[in-house]
Amino acid sequence: MSHTSFDPSLAYAEALDANDELAHFRNEFYLKHGTIYLDGNSLGLMSKRSERTLMELIDSWKELGIDGWTQGKYPWFYLSELLGERSASIVGAGPDEVIVTGSTTSNLHVLAATFFTPTPTRNKIIATELDFPSDIYALQSQLNLHDLDPEEHLIRIKSRDGRLIEEEDIIAAMTDDVALIVLPTVLYRSGQLLDIARLTMEAHARGILIGFDGCHSVGAVPHEFSKWDVDFAYWCNYKYLNSGPGGVGGLYVNRKHFGRTPGLTGWYSSRKDKQFDMEHALTPAENAGAFQLGTPHVLSLAPFIGSLEIFTEATMEKLRRKSLALTRYMMDLIAHELDGMGFTIANPQEDHRRGGHVSLEHEEAIRICRTLKEEHHLIPDFRAPNIIRLAPVALYNTYSEVWQCVQILKRIMQEKSYEKYENKRGVVA
C-alpha cells in the first residue's frame, strides 16, 4: 500500500477488507465478540483446526494408550519430525533441517553449547543490547560454563537511538576474537527486521558462526535460512504460528552441520531406529532431530498440527504482503489522526526493515494500554518503559479493526481517560 492511496475513512478500510484475499481465514479463529485482539505477536489466537487436532491427539491417548507412540493418524514418536517437515517452508529450510522441540531458551542452550567452542584466541559472543532478556541470560550462562566472564566476553552491540541496531555496527564488531554471533531476526520492542542474509555473509567471511532468534518473525516474515547459509536458528511457535500458550518451540540447523555431535544430548537426540536399542553410546540423528533432548510434549504439539494446515494454505508470501499492508495502513492512520498527541512510531518505516508489529512510543504507554484493555476491549501489548506494541495479524485481523484501534486511541487522548489509571504495569505485561 502506498502513501498516495491512503484514505482515512472507515469506508476505505471496509473496501480493503472486501478485497482481502486472506479474509476467509478470519473465520478459522476463535474471536471474542466485541474485542479487538492486537497481541498476536505475543500469543496467537486459537484456531478451530488447532482445537480439532488437539482433540484428535487426546482421543489417540484415550483409544490407543501406549500404542499411540507408533499407531494412529499422528504417531507420537515421529511427531516432532513431521511438524519440522511441515514448518520448514515457513523458514526456508529443508524438511530435515527443522525440528519442533523444546522451548526458545532450552533450544538456544542446546545450540550455543554446540556451536560455541571457544579457543584461547576466539572466545567472544556477539549479541545486542536490545535483545530479549532470555537470550542474554542463556548466553551469559554458556560463557560461565566455559569459565569466561560475560562482562568481557559477551559483546552487546549498542543502539544509536535506543530503538534500532545498525547492521554496520554489528559488522564492525566482527573481530578475530569472536567465535559466535546470536541475533534476533526482529527486535522485540521496535519491530526492526535485521538483514539476515548480509549479516550471515559478513560473519562467514570472517570465519564466525551465526545463529538467529526468530521468535518475533517466524510466521509473519518469510525467511530463507538455507539459501542464506544461516548456521542455526530457534523460535517459539505460539506467537504468529498460533500453536498455543507455551507451545513447543522450533529450531533449524544447516545441513552442513549434520553429523556434529550436539553440545547437549538426551533421549531424543538418538537416531530413531537406534533409540530403543538402549545402548549407552548415543548414535545421534543425522538431521536436526539430533538437537532434541527429551520426550516431546505430545498434547502441546497437537494444536500445531492444525495451525500448520492453515499456513500451508495461506502461504507466507500472501501473509507477508497483507502484514506489511496492515502495518503500513496503521502507521498512515496514526500519522494522520494522532498528530500532536505525543506518539512516536518507533519501528522502521521501510517495508524491508519491518517485522509484523507497530511499535508506538508514548510517555503514558502503561496507562494508555490499561485504558485500551479495560474500557475499550482492545488488547495491545506493553513493553517497558514506554512502548505500545500493536500487531495486526494477517490471518485474523482486519483493516477495519486497525481503523477502530486508531480512533479509540484518538478518543482516549482527547478525553484523557487514561489519567484515572495508576502508572503501573501488571505482573505479566
**Residues in binding site for pyridoxal 5'-phosphate:** 104-105, 132-135, 213, 216, 238, 267, 295
Q: What is the C-alpha to C-alpha distance for residues 99 and 253, in angstroms, rounded to an integer?
A: 9
SS3 383: strand
242, 269 Cβ separation under 8 angstroms: no
Residues tagged in the binding site annotation: 104-105, 132-135, 213, 216, 238, 267, 295
138, 315 Cβ separation under 8 angstroms: no
Beta bridge partners of 126: 155, 181
Burial class (CB in 10 A: 0-12, 13-18, 19+), 280: exposed
Q: What is the C-alpha to C-alpha distance for residues 348 and 138, in angstroms, rounded to an integer?
A: 28
Query: Which conformational region is residue 147 in: left (phi greater than 0), alpha (psi within -120 to 50 degrees), or beta?
Result: left
193, 324 Cβ separation under 8 angstroms: no
Hey, which residues are catalytic here? 132, 213, 238-239, 389
Q: What is the C-alpha to C-alpha distance for residues 68 and 237, in angstroms, rounded to an integer?
A: 24
DSSP string, 97-149: SEEE-S-HHHHHHHHHHHH----SS--EEEEETTS-HHHHHHHHHHHHHTT--
DSSP-assigned letter for residue 390 = E
DSSP-assigned letter for residue 29 = B
DSSP-assigned letter for residue 253 = E
Q: What is the C-alpha to C-alpha distance for residues 269 and 205, in angstroms, rounded to an integer?
A: 31
Beta bridge partners of 212: 183, 233
Q: What is the C-alpha to C-alpha distance for residues 421 and 429, in angstroms, rounded to an integer?
A: 15
Q: What is the C-alpha to C-alpha distance for residues 125 and 118, in angstroms, rounded to an integer?
A: 9
407, 337 Cβ separation under 8 angstroms: yes
